[in-house]
């Protein structure tokens, strides 16, 4: 249980730091947020827990393919905000777009040999 709490604390601190950095500089906050810190931490925790190279390779490969459908969200949200949409509407639309693209990836990916 202590290990789980340590993982949650470290992960939470990173998110809090990103939001604090973004308050001072949106660009610097975006740079830090764009770093694959969560993915790296996830891989560290997974490796520590399993030491399974096959599982790690599958995780890293799937992470790559799941990043791709999440990217359009980061174009849609600023577009909507700049065109008068409220934050919650823009965020919701971005999340719905991402969900739709994730579903497309899950159903279309295997047709191209992707194992997700």
pLDDT digits (tens, 9 = 90+) for 28-86: 988 888 888 888 988 999 999 999 999 999 999 999 999 999 999 999 999 999 999 99
- Give the Cα separation of 114 and 10 in Å (integer): 32
Tell me: the pLDDT tens digits for 92-104? 999 999 999 999 9
CA distance 39 to 41: 5
Q: Where are the domains of the chain?
A: 1-35, 51-116
The tokens for 116 are 């997700």
pTM: 0.76
For residue 15, give both structure tokens.
Answer: 């998110």
Question: What Cα–Cα distance (Å) separates residue 78 from each residue in 13, 19, 25, 72, 84?
Answer: 26, 17, 16, 11, 10
Q: How far apart are CA 12 and CA 105, in angstroms?
A: 29
């Amino acid at each position: 249980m202590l290990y789980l709490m340590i993982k949650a604390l470290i992960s939470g601190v990173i998110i809090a730091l990103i939001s604090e950095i973004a308050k001072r500089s949106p660009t610097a906050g975006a740079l830090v947020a764009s770093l694959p810190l969560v993915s790296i931490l996830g891989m560290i925790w997974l490796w520590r827990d399993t030491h399974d190279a096959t599982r790690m390779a599958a995780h890293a490969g799937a992470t790559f393919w799941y990043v791709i459908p999440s990217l359009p969200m980061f174009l849609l949200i600023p577009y909507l905000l700049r065109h008068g949409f409220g934050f919650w509407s823009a965020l919701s639309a971005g999340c719905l777009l991402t969900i739709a693209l994730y579903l497309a990836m899950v159903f279309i990916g295997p047709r191209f040999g992707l194992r997700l």
